[in-house]
Amino acid sequence: MPSKRLNTFHVLFISLAVVAVGYVIRTPWLPIRRETKTSMGYLEDSLMNFTELTGKYGYISEEHHVITDDGYILTMFRIAKAKNCHKRKRSPPVLLMHGLLQSSDSWIDSGPNAGLAYLISDACYDLWLGNVRGNYYSRGHVHLNPDKDAEYWNFYIEEIGTYDVPAMIDYVLDYTGFKKLNYIGFSQGTGTFLVMCSERPEYCEKAQLLISLAPASRQFHTSSQIYRMLTQMFDRMESALSIYGVHEVFSKGEFSQEFVGFFCHLSVATQRLCETFLNLFEQVDSSHSGSITNQTTTVLFGHFPAGTSLHNMAWYGQSMTATRFRKFNHGKKKNLVVYGSEQPAAYNLSAMTVPVLCIYGNNDGLVDVKDVEWLMSKLPNVLESVKVEDPLWTHLDMTYSQYTVYTIFPKISEYLLKYTSA
Ligand SMILES: *[C@@H]1O[C@H](CO)[C@@H](O)[C@H](O)[C@H]1NC(C)=O
Ligand SMILES: *[C@@H]1O[C@H](CO)[C@@H](O)[C@H](O)[C@H]1NC(C)=O
Ligand SMILES: *[C@@H]1O[C@H](CO)[C@@H](O)[C@H](O)[C@H]1NC(C)=O
């Protein structure tokens, strides 16, 4: 039935366009104030920030600020006291890094029985959570104003990996007095670690273990057509949008985010829309129903999407057709100037010498199994690469599933324990 498929495609495309436009249009009456939302019956958890939300569940968190070499001010959180840990291990700190369009809150949105931040700190590790430039916790700079200066938004994973990740690692090591830490990166959180090892190999040695959850490098086989179209649209339209002053996209408080957040809370019926929106991104064939509870879905839309630069989204668009994990493609002429070759330079994956545990899902619409396997074949020191047993495990399940404690945490825990002696 080609005509039916065409219709579905059109509806999806139009919805996508509306949503995308909503994310780049600034509306003066947004974001809606928290008091207003509370009076409208929004779930409390969706309105809370990291320290408030962890505090509510009996965990004490600290807020830390880190300044990168290029002046970005980042916020990190540390769980200083976990509810179910009575004596912390004398072990290297663990640094947990979120994915594209997320923040540290993604590790707690699924609640104390499933959020990896809770599980890892309950296992008595000294847990730190990063936030990369451009998300709502890390929207500061020593002299640039993100609301006025386009220059603030001139970054993609290159700068995140070259400046943000090293700055956060240094901060944690200085603060705790350890020489090395264990790093856990989800999706872009691994991609930026790989960038760091390629561009600043001396930092690579500051991690003794990389736990890589659904690592995003090249996205050649990504199956979600929606995700492809959206990022490629940003790539094609980058210069046009920049002329209109669009440099930041998918920030918290933008029209579409408020709209979806509102629908999540309105009624059980409209909650479906909220779920649909989540599935729209990933667009997997067989949905993993129930894995991400509707409570989690409602809470996460208070924190997701967390914002990034148009330039970063454009790089993701390029990565959909790249056969290597490579830098931004500026076009032949500018590439010659920037890289000394017509093609963009590739990141040096051989420089990623840290031992890796990789965990990935079979039903991942954003980071395809084939791309994960390609990446693992390029890394020199892979300890183990594990496909989650549940065949329906998706990309977003890594941070938001209610089943993490059975599906991915045991492996994470096994390796953290192995790499505990320092
Ligand atoms: C989180 O909320 C608390 C209480 O409202 C506030 O004091 C704190 O500054 C907030 N932290 C961040 C990073 O927004
Ligand atoms: C959430 O999901 C459950 C099970 O799928 C369902 O019974 C319930 O009505 C949903 N909505 C709310 C608001 O809990
Ligand atoms: C990539 O990194 C490896 C290991 O550090 C190094 O031997 C090699 O020279 C690097 N390759 C390039 C092209 O820089």
Residue nearest atom 10 in ligand 1 by C-alpha distance? 49
CA-CA distances (angstroms) from residue 40 to 124, 263, 273? 38, 12, 19
71: number of Cβ within 10 Å: 14
- Look up 187 and say whether it is catalytic: yes
Which ligand 1 atom sits closest to the C-alpha of 63? Answer: 13
DSSP class of residue 161?
I
Beta-carbon-side half-sphere exposure of residue 415 (alpha carbons within 13 Å): 24
What's the 291 CA to ligand 2 centre distance in angstroms?
12
- Asked if residue 351 has its Cβ within 6 Å of ligand 3, the reply is yes
Whole-number Å distance between alpha carbons of 81 and 349: 37
What's the 178 CA to ligand 3 centre distance in angstroms?
27
Catalytic residue among 103, 121, 187, 217: 187
- Tens-place pLDDT, residues 117-165: 999 999 999 999 999 999 999 999 999 999 999 999 999 999 999 999 9
DSSP class of residue 164?
I
Q: Across residues 185-210, what is the average pLDDT?
A: 98
- Look up 303 and say whether it is catalytic: no
Q: The dihedral of CA 54, 56, 58, 63: what is its sign?
A: positive
- Asked if residue 52 has its Cβ within 6 Å of ligand 1, the reply is yes
- Identify which ligand lies nearest to the alpha carbon of 292: 2
The alpha helices in 97-224, defined as continuous H runs, are 116-122, 157-159, 165-176, 188-199, 201-204
- Tens-place pLDDT, residues 54-86: 999 999 999 999 999 999 999 999 999 999 999
Q: Which domains occur in the chain, in start order? A: 24-418 (3.40.50.1820)
- Tens-place pLDDT, residues 1-53: 445 555 666 666 777 777 777 777 766 667 788 888 888 888 999 999 999 99
- Identify which ligand lies nearest to the alpha carbon of 131: 1
User: Do the beta carbons of residue 320 and residue 222 sit within 8 Å?
Assistant: yes
Tokens 């976990």 found at? 82
Residue nearest atom 5 in ligand 2 by C-alpha distance? 290
- Look up 15 and say whether it is catalytic: no
What's the 116 CA to ligand 1 centre distance in angstroms?
21
Q: Which of 199, 203, 348, 352 to mutate to test the pocket of ligand 3 (most atoms within 8 A of CB)?
A: 348
